[in-house]
Structure 1
Amino acid sequence: MSDLILHHYPSSPFSEKVRLILGHKQLAWQSVVIPRVMPKPDVLALTGGYRRTPFLQIGADVYCDTALICDVLEHRQPTPTLYPNHLKGMARVLAQWADSTLFWAAMGHNLSPTGAAALFAGQPPEAAQAFAADRGAMRAGMSSLRPGDATAAYKSYLRRLSTLVEDQPFLLGERPCVADFAAYHPLWFSRVVNPAMAGILNATPAVIEWMDRMAAIGHGQMSKLSATEAIAIAAAAQPAPLGDDVFQDEHGIALGSRVTVAAEAFGQEPTEGILRAATRTRYTLERTDERAGTLHVHFPRIGFVLRAVRA
């Protein structure tokens, strides 16, 4: 049985990004389905505060944010690569744009009043209200595109993506890279999760053909696991040893300090723990949970904020 445990839910777009990468790398993985909205007690037992979806668990190590999960999976299975040598920087930059600018334009369209009504059609009013309240709390302090502006931007971005796949099968060449998976998932939400809003894709048939190629990758070999079982796996394990290069000081905060790490924008709930590593690319916090035991929770540097806990 694989030790890769993905905590996700079926309609989560960022989860679809990781599910497809697991398929691309032909990896076996265990699936823990988590709630779409708070409360998420089993999630917080493992992450300590972070509640964005998905996150990856390997034993007593928890990896937050899909950009970091991509790096972890690349290290686990280097081929086929997500980062082609001659396009490594371009792939990462394009993926970061897709995970942020493209994503928020797409979701502004997908969850417009018309889109939200379609998405929650047939469900009790409380479901839509709970979702809106939950995501509203996660967006606290963020500026959001108005639906009309989001739709206009989304159309422009789809045309730009179309120019990349009109003469080649994937965004940067003959094979998919991290940029393809990042650009695919917000469009997948339009097409698969809320198909009432998928008409926006019809003006860019090359994008639809590219999406078909992406969907054909599949999700790898998945087996089911309960949250209780995942927490027990963490409790029975110890965090993996850290490497030698564990400290690049940008904040004047020493290793061993009590700190918090939180997202810069969406979903700013902090995770508190002991700083065990601050490498060139990631932070690692040690924390203890009464059910999950001693854990290392890992975050990418980009997109996250490190702060010392003041006594």
Structure 2
Amino acid sequence: MAESLPDWQKSFLARNRLPDDYLSHALKWFGPLATALVEHQNSAARTLLVAVNGSQGSGKSTLCDYLCSLLQADYGLTSASLSLDDFYLTARERRHIALDIHPLLATRGAPGTHDMGLLSATLDALLGGKPASIPRFDKSIDDRVPGSEWEQVTSPVQVVFLEGWCMGAMAQPVDELAEPVNALEVREDSDGRWRNYVNNSLAEHFSELYRRVDRWVMLQAPSFDCVYQWRLEQEQKLALTRSGNAIMSAAEIAHFIQFYQRLTEHCLVRLPARVDHLYRLDKQRRIQSYTSAAVANV
């Protein structure tokens, strides 16, 4: 079958290490989303910003890659795909805020560990039809790569995808922060300073980002319990692309995902009713249903 596929589909499958039959699955579920985005872009006559939420390992990057490829091949629309993960503060910057505010901020992940100024400037350029340098964060070294290795977008794009595990997360009511949700919060954030800082970062910095978003997409996991296995599989897949750099062990992943638990569970409960396009997943990441809403209010 591969011999008869268009070049863009062959390239997509190779990049993501996917079997050929993924394409029929993708067209069934994501074709309507692509059509809706094209219609919205045509009516808006400007560059769209599409936000994609999903827990770790849910398939956000694969979805964005597929949509970018499909929009170009079938509709002639150029696009750029950004990951919130690529906008983490550098290791040095995180060490600094860890000393100033809370030791847990040395670990990338939660709001408050992103360079929101860099993200805003990058979006300004892309949404304004200007050249942009897209940063890259290498998780195997836990740091941003040098600027010479950043992706260069030299021509205007019609659609910008921004995917992230906490995209769309809203600040929690203060009383919900009082009770720890896992062992990490019990042992290492007993006074709640870390989670309050994260919550304040959402309120102060992410709400401004959300106002720029035109359309919201969510890949909804059945529960946070799936995240460990998905993240483990993701790490194993990443290992295939890393030349000798270390990956996390199963025990390290179990500890690491605790940094994400509070907001992931918050998103799973609150976000589905507020997005434009909702995909409900099962434990194997298979799509069980797709719902398209007329208007979202994130």
Higher RCO by CA contacts (8 Å cutoff, separation 6 or greater): 1
TM over 0.5: no
Q: TM-score, normalised by structure 1?
A: 0.27
Structure with more of its chain in helix, by fraction: 2
